[in-house]
């Protein structure tokens, strides 16, 4: 049995594991182990979580999704509250949630599946607990829509995973659709688990916005340690190093190609920085309004700069 097969067998026996645990079990240094795990993930032999524990994701087999629940206590306080709320309800309407909960639902990608329900020209976002079935989610959404009188006669709501909409359009809607158990609901569904880290690490040196951000950081003597493309050409995460009186300090940096920043985006960026145990450097394209600055939680470790 080669090392890769040993790793797969180990995860099969032990469940989701951190790279450091795998490294100890196979008696190999962490760098080589991480490389082997990355290769197995690239070959779709194993999966990894968006959730980080001590800065590292968990690696697990495709059949072990249900075991991720055992690590929900590792989530931050707000994320854990959102997780328990969603787990209890199974499906919730995004518009009915408090802003902090809406942000947290977008962070816990391992447990919350975003869905879009189209009602004529309106699109409503719902969140499905990741272990809730397609059929059950569809019936729960139908009930929510009826309670809110959101569905009107003659409309045909369509339910899709929001992260699959772009892909499905490119594929000219070749994805299969399932008719729901209750034909009166007139809801067709194509529910797909959102793909984690879908080509997010690809970098394009020729991208104009990325150049603007890199130029700003370089001009201000801020060293870029890590770059991650979140949305093609428009949103980037960085780990940077900023000089201070006590020496170089690491920061989580968020940059969006967007003229106006809203309070939820600041809260989301803060939560991402907190999960990494780092202060936040937020780069914006227009000076934040006093009202926007008032929305920042007291004591938040954040620096906002206009680029």
In a domain, 69, yes or no: no
pTM: 0.54
pLDDT by residue (tens digit) across 61-114?
Answer: 999 999 999 999 999 888 999 999 999 999 999 989 988 888 889 889 999 999
For the chain, the average pLDDT equals 80
> Lowest mean pLDDT: which of 2-11, 117-126, 154-163?
154-163
Which among 143, 164, 190 is the end of a domain?
Answer: 190
Domain with 34, as residue range(s), is 3-63
In a domain, 197, yes or no: no
pLDDT at res. 164:
47
Same domain for 95 and 163, yes or no, is yes
Same domain for 86 and 177, yes or no, is yes
Same domain for 164 and 261, yes or no, is no
Same domain for 35 and 82, yes or no, is no
Query: How many domains is the chain partitioned into structurally?
Result: 3
pLDDT by residue (tens digit) across 181-236?
Answer: 343 334 444 444 444 434 444 544 446 888 899 889 988 989 888 888 888 888 99
Same domain for 119 and 181, yes or no, is yes
Same domain for 173 and 256, yes or no, is no
Which among 15, 43, 63 is the end of a domain?
Answer: 63
In a domain, 24, yes or no: yes
Residue 125 has pLDDT above 70, yes or no: yes
The band of 170, judged by pLDDT with boundaries at 50, 70 and 90, is very low
Same domain for 183 and 259, yes or no, is no
160 or 15, higher pLDDT: 15
In a domain, 22, yes or no: yes
pLDDT at res. 193:
42
CATH number, residue 16:
1.10.10.10
d(CA 217, CA 287): 17
Contacts of 67 (CB under 8 A, 6+ apart): 15, 16, 60
Which among 156, 190, 224 is the end of a domain?
Answer: 190
pLDDT by residue (tens digit) across 141-162?
Answer: 999 888 876 444 445 555 555 5
150 or 130, higher pLDDT: 130
Same domain for 181 and 213, yes or no, is no
239 or 164, higher pLDDT: 239
Residue 286 has pLDDT above 90, yes or no: no
Same domain for 113 and 148, yes or no, is yes
pLDDT at res. 165:
43
In a domain, 199, yes or no: no
281 or 152, higher pLDDT: 281
In a domain, 176, yes or no: yes
Same domain for 292 and 215, yes or no, is yes
Same domain for 49 and 87, yes or no, is no
Portion of the chain with pLDDT greater than 70, in percent = 81
In a domain, 195, yes or no: no
In a domain, 157, yes or no: yes
Same domain for 283 and 215, yes or no, is yes
């Amino acid at each position: 049995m080669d090392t890769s097969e040993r790793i797969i067998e180990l995860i099969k026996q032990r469940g989701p594991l951190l790279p450091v645990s795998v490294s100890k079990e196979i008696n190999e240094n962490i760098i080589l182990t991480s490389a082997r795990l990355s290769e197995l993930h690239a070959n779709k032999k194993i999966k990894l979580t968006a959730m980080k524990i001590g800065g590292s994701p968990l690696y697990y087999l495709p059949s072990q999704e249900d075991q991720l629940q055992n690590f929900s206590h590792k989530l931050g306080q707000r994320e854990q509250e959102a997780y328990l709320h969603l787990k209890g309800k199974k499906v919730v309407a995004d518009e009915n949630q408090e802003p902090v909960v809406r942000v947290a639902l977008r962070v816990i990608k391992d447990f919350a599946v975003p869905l879009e329900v189209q009602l004529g020209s309106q699109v409503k976002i719902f969140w499905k607990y990741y272990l809730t079935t397609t059929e059950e989610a569809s019936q729960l959404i139908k009930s929510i829509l009826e309670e809110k009188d959101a569905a009107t006669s003659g409309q045909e709501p369509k339910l899709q995973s929001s992260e699959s909409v772009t892909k499905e359009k490119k594929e000219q809607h070749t994805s299969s659709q399932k008719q729901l158990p209750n034909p009166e609901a007139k809801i067709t569904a194509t529910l797909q688990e959102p793909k984690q880290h879908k080509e997010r690490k690809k970098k394009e040196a020729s991208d104009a916005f990325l150049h603007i951000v890199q130029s700003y950081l370089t001009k201000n003597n801020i060293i870029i340690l890590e770059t991650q493309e979140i949305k093609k050409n428009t949103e980037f995460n960085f780990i940077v190093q900023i000089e201070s009186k006590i020496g170089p300090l690491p920061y989580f940096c968020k940059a969006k190609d967007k003229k106006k920043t809203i309070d939820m985006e600041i809260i989301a960026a803060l939560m991402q920085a907190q999960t990494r145990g780092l202060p936040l450097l937020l780069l914006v394209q227009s000076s934040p309004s006093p009202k926007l600055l008032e929305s920042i939680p007291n004591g938040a470790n954040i620096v906002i700069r206009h680029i």
